[in-house]
A and B are shown apart, each in its own frame.
Chain A
Amino acid sequence: MRHLLSTSDLTYTQAIRILDTAQEMARISEGPVKKLPTLRGRTIVNLFFEDSTRTRISFEAAAKRLSADVINFSAKGSSASKGESLKDTAQTLQAMGADAVILRHSASGAAQRLANSHWTSGSVINAGDGTHEHPTQALLDAFTIRQHLRVGTGDLRGLTIAIVGDILHSRVARSDVHLLSLLGAQVILVAPPTLLPIGTSTWPVQMSYDFDSVLPLVDAVMMLRVQQERMSDFFFPTAREYSHYYGLNADRLKKMKPTAIIMHPGPMNRGLEITAECADSARSVILEQVTNGVSVRMAVLYLLLAGAPNEDGEITK
């Protein structure tokens, strides 16, 4: 593995290896000394053309725990706001000797473009590209589900997971669909028809417009953020109507299996897609997702950067 661009590029073995490696990284994150010398002397650039809090901080924490040097670049306050292109920015960073570039960009396919180009020789990690993919978020979701419902080993066979809300604009949903089904889980997309993208018939998923009928079936429910910045086209009449049909509230919580967990990639719109009561309930693993994000990103950085490059980029024992 040289880049991490999309969960649909991952093989089953690679996905399990990332989760197993993250398991070991999580142990270190719980220990008294949260620092490893593993990536000492490597430079990692956080190249963020779009706003982000948790993903950027999470990658930064992961890189620092592995002793890599981190350079943070955000488009605001940089030459990108003067109109510098992705190419010129990437080449500048290459000239500074970046071993990996973590890219968030508003254009779908930006990470792929950077990886295929000769603008940078380092590994490219996609931290969200437009409405396409956000692979490390899906990996931390899978990791969190595995911790809770599969005692931290193996895959997710036999589990049913609902992804609810704005599927249309969600890169998290796309990455999750590929990864969770690769790991053997059954994914059900729940959304109003206006928020389901065209072409989902080729995805390995079931679909429903009726949240209440899906609730008793699922082992985990993943609420997506209503992306108000992308809601200019009136996808639903009112926020209140959306909450009524697709929001997670106390009544819906009661319809779920007693073991089922509540997830959200953050940031949450409390009161819109999820009530505070649900977000703060004992069944909610939302903060654990944030903690696990660091472990999963440590695993990805380790697997992409630690070894000497060999022909097929595969792991040896």
Chain B
Amino acid sequence: MSVALPAVDIARALTRIAHEILERNGGPDSIVLMGIPTRGAFLASRLAALIAGIEGREVPVGTLDITLHRDDLRLRPLRALVPTMTPLGGIEGRNVVLVDDVLFSGRTIRAALDALGEMGRPKTVQLAALVDRGHRELPIRADYVGKNLPTSKGQAVKVHLSEIDGVDEVLVENVEV
């Protein structure tokens, strides 16, 4: 088990992503941040705070539970639903930034795109991930990446955030397959 990203690096990466989001969208006006629970939701709140710090204005934040749109429901034990929170003002015609902790197969994001469609029709959808670990199974890429982390499929990437885990760190573990 090794620390791939310590707390200071996570903070720097998020600050950079906040700037990149603002730059890409020409300011905070049209931006809506949608976090994918559990940890993506915390990251979205942090990005919102960073953007507010830079621009002095709040951007709407929501959460998006993707459970009902997963394509592996029948293959895995039942999952509990997590509350979805529609951001203030909705997503209609906005530039929506999906926020997740780890980008892996891309299936979560595929489900998230479907779940978004149920809420409305955004102008654009962008993707921010703290870690991109590769091994995509679908044609999906991130617009904003905290760190590209080359891994083997036999490894597990764990993101810990102080909001629920008490500490900020990204770990890479070797798991027996």
A303 touches B65 (CB 8 A): no
B79 touches A23 (CB 8 A): no
A302 and B80 CA atoms in complex are apart in Å by 10
A37 and B115 CA atoms in complex are apart in Å by 10
Q: Is A307 an interface residue (CB 8 A)?
A: yes
Q: Is B68 an interface residue (CB 8 A)?
A: yes
A32 and B118 CA atoms in complex are apart in Å by 7
Q: Please give, as numbers and ranges, the residues of chain A lying within 8 Å of B80 by CB-CB distance.
A: 17, 20-21, 315, 317
Q: Please give, as numbers and ranges, the residues of chain A lying within 8 Å of B118 by CB-CB distance.
A: 28, 31-33, 35-36
A302 and B120 CA atoms in complex are apart in Å by 23
Q: Please give, as numbers and ranges, the residues of chain B lying within 8 Å of A308 by CB-CB distance.
A: 73-78
B69 touches A307 (CB 8 A): no
A307 touches B65 (CB 8 A): no
Which among A17, A66, A306 has the greatest number of chain B C-beta atoms within 10 A?
A: A306
Q: Please give, as numbers and ranges, the residues of chain B lying within 8 Å of A306 by CB-CB distance.
A: 73-74, 78-79
B79 touches A317 (CB 8 A): yes
Interface string of A304-317 (1 = CB under 8 A from B): 00111010001111
Enumerate B66-106 residues with CB–CB distance to A below 8 Å.
68-69, 73-81, 83-84
Q: Is A230 an interface residue (CB 8 A)?
A: no
Min CB gap B19→A, angstroms: 33
How extensive is the interface on chain B, given as a class?
Answer: 10 to 19
Q: Is B119 an interface residue (CB 8 A)?
A: yes
A36 touches B69 (CB 8 A): yes
Q: Please give, as numbers and ranges, the residues of chain B lying within 8 Å of A24 by CB-CB distance.
A: 65, 81, 83-84
Interface string of A33-71 (1 = CB under 8 A from B): 101111000000000000000000000000000100000
B78 touches A316 (CB 8 A): yes
Q: Is A27 an interface residue (CB 8 A)?
A: yes
Interface string of B102-115 (1 = CB under 8 A from A): 00000000000010
Interface size on A, residues (CB 8 A): 25
B114 touches A37 (CB 8 A): yes
B83 touches A307 (CB 8 A): no
Q: Please give, as numbers and ranges, the residues of chain A lying within 8 Å of B77 by CB-CB distance.
A: 307-308, 310, 314-316
Q: Please give, as numbers and ranges, the residues of chain B lying within 8 Å of A28 by CB-CB distance.
A: 68, 118
Q: Please give, as numbers and ranges, the residues of chain A lying within 8 Å of B83 by CB-CB distance.
A: 23-24
8 closest residue pairs by CB, A with B: A307-B78, A24-B81, A316-B77, A310-B77, A38-B68, A33-B118, A315-B78, A36-B68
- Can you list 30 contacts pairing A with B, beta carbon distance less than 8 Å? A21-B81, A24-B81, A24-B83, A24-B84, A27-B84, A28-B68, A31-B118, A32-B120, A33-B118, A36-B68, A36-B69, A38-B68, A38-B69, A302-B68, A302-B81, A306-B73, A306-B74, A306-B78, A306-B79, A308-B74, A308-B76, A308-B78, A310-B77, A310-B78, A314-B77, A315-B77, A315-B79, A315-B80, A316-B79, A317-B80
